[in-house]
């Protein structure tokens, strides 16, 4: 019997990520100590009070049934968090939808919204799920180039009208992954006008909302007048409160869009474990002191890595946000060749930029989810690698 994956699943295979994993495995098998800057998973712990809440509620054996959806306390906590952090008023009942992580929500959104043949505007480079969820739904991806000379903002006016007539949704993310750029309020205002004019649902991925550095403003898309009329915003507790394994996040904003997504989800899941929801409530309604400390830690890590690379002659732009550095590679390399050679010869794993789209060629993504000491060592290894290459 031959068992064959669907054509959709076959198309989802990302060869660059597969090869990267193989290269890391080969290096480790050779006895090499690999410093992994490729995976964007937080290495810092969640707040103590969050863990305590999870443990305490886990002891209550009456809380092991299906929750089916977000409990009232969770939805209210999201509303409180958005008011305190971004100055946005949310209706907890109608403008908040709990998710099993923002990636879960993003992966289901296109299936809930997109019919075969519908176009979706997607950032290039962008987080892979943006493109893959459209493909699964049978939609058509139209890439929006994010170029350094444009501040990594898409040129909306350059999208052909014939494409816009067929477009149902657009995805943006600021600060984003892999590109760590920030958007200003003027850009978001332009997006609202654009979406209204062309009847396009805006999806803003705001997962790195609390990892913004150098006192730059935290601007939620929903803070712009009219944004709720055209869009929704995804956020997560994974990066903000280091609760990645708990798999809990949310979408907020346009009531009709959230209602459609909620209807879809009602057919495929039974809600999140009650103790995890209460741990999330504890996180969202805390004094947020952890968030300030966390930003300082990531800023320190970013600066150590970048200054170490500069000593080796590789000048890298300073990321204004996120847990990543989006670095233009030295001339004479392709992204994949540079990344694979770096693993093999220096024992440092980074992600080639073209894994995130055509416009990612010429860059690599480095995750600062290692200790400052490890990041300094990684910079030293890369410096030696570059010297040898010369």
Kind and range of the H or E run holding 235: strand 231-236
CA–CA dist 9, 113 (Å, integer): 20
Q: Which of 385, 326, 390, 389 is nearest to 35 (CA)?
A: 385
Do the Cβ atoms of 248 and 283 come closer than 8 Å?
A: no
Domain ranges of the chain: 7-45+289-389, 63-284
CA–CA dist 139, 132 (Å, integer): 10
CA–CA dist 339, 353 (Å, integer): 9
CA–CA dist 357, 175 (Å, integer): 17
Residue-level pLDDT at 296: 97
Can you give the C-alpha Rg of the chain in angstroms?
A: 21
Q: Which of 370, 367, 356, 374 is nearest to 322 (CA)?
A: 367
Domain 7-45+289-389: which CATH class? alpha beta
Concatenated DSSP letters of 260-323: HHHHHHTTT-----HHHHHHHHHHHTS--HHHHHHHHHHHHHHHHHHHHHHHTT---PPPSBSS
Q: What is the pLDDT along the chain (390 residues), one digit of tens a residue?
A: 999 888 877 777 556 777 888 888 898 898 899 999 998 899 999 999 999 999 999 999 999 999 999 999 999 999 999 999 999 999 999 999 999 999 999 999 999 999 999 999 999 999 999 999 999 999 999 999 999 999 999 999 999 999 999 999 999 999 999 999 999 999 999 999 999 999 999 999 999 999 999 999 999 999 999 999 999 999 999 999 999 999 999 999 999 999 999 999 999 999 999 999 999 999 999 999 989 999 999 999 999 999 999 998 999 999 999 999 999 999 999 999 999 999 999 999 999 999 999 999 999 999 999 999 999 999 999 999 998 765
Do the Cβ atoms of 153 and 131 come closer than 8 Å?
A: no
CATH 3.40.640.10 fits 63-284, yes or no: yes
């Amino acid at each position: 019997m031959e068992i064959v994956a669907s054509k959709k699943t076959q198309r989802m295979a990302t060869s660059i990520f597969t090869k990267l994993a193989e290269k890391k495995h080969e290096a480790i098998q050779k006895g090499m100590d690999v410093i992994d800057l490729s995976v964007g998973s937080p290495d810092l712990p969640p707040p103590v009070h969050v863990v305590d809440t999870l443990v305490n509620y886990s002891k209550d054996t009456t809380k092991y049934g299906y929750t089916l959806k977000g409990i009232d306390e969770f939805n209210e906590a999201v509303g409180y968090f958005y008011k305190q952090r971004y100055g946005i008023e949310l209706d907890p009942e109608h403008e908040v939808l709990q998710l099993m992580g923002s990636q879960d929500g993003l992966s289901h959104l296109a299936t809930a919204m997109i019919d075969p043949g519908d176009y979706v505007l997607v950032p290039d480079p962008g987080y892979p799920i943006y493109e893959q969820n459209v493909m699964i739904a049978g939609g058509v991806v139209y890439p929006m180039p994010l170029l350094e000379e444009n501040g990594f903002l898409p040129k909306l006016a350059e999208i052909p009208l014939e494409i816009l007539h067929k477009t149902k949704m657009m995805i943006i993310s600021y600060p984003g992954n892999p590109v760590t750029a920030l958007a200003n309020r003027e850009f978001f205002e332009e997006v609202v006008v654009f979406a209204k004019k062309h009847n396009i649902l805006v999806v803003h991925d705001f997962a790195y909302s609390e990892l913004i550095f150098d006192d730059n403003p935290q601007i939620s898309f929903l803070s712009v007048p009219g944004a709720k009329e055209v869009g929704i915003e995804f956020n997560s507790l994974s990066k903000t409160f280091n609760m990645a394994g708990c798999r809990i996040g949310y979408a907020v904003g346009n009531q009709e869009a959230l209602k459609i997504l909620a209807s879809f989800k009602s057919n495929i899941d039974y809600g999140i474990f009650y103790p995890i929801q209460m741990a999330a409530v504890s996180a969202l309604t805390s004094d947020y002191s952890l968030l300030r400390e966390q930003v300082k830690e990531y800023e320190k890590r970013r600066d150590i890595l970048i200054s170490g690379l500069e000593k080796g002659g590789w000048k890298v732009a300073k990321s204004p946000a996120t847990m990543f550095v989006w670095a233009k590679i030295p001339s004479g390399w392709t992204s994949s060749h540079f990344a694979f050679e770096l693993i093999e010869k220096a024992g440092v794993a980074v992600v080639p930029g073209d894994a995130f789209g055509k416009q990612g060629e010429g860059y690599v993504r480095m995750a600062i989810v290692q200790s400052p000491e490890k990041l300094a060592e990684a910079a030293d290894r890369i410096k030696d690698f570059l010297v040898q290459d010369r």
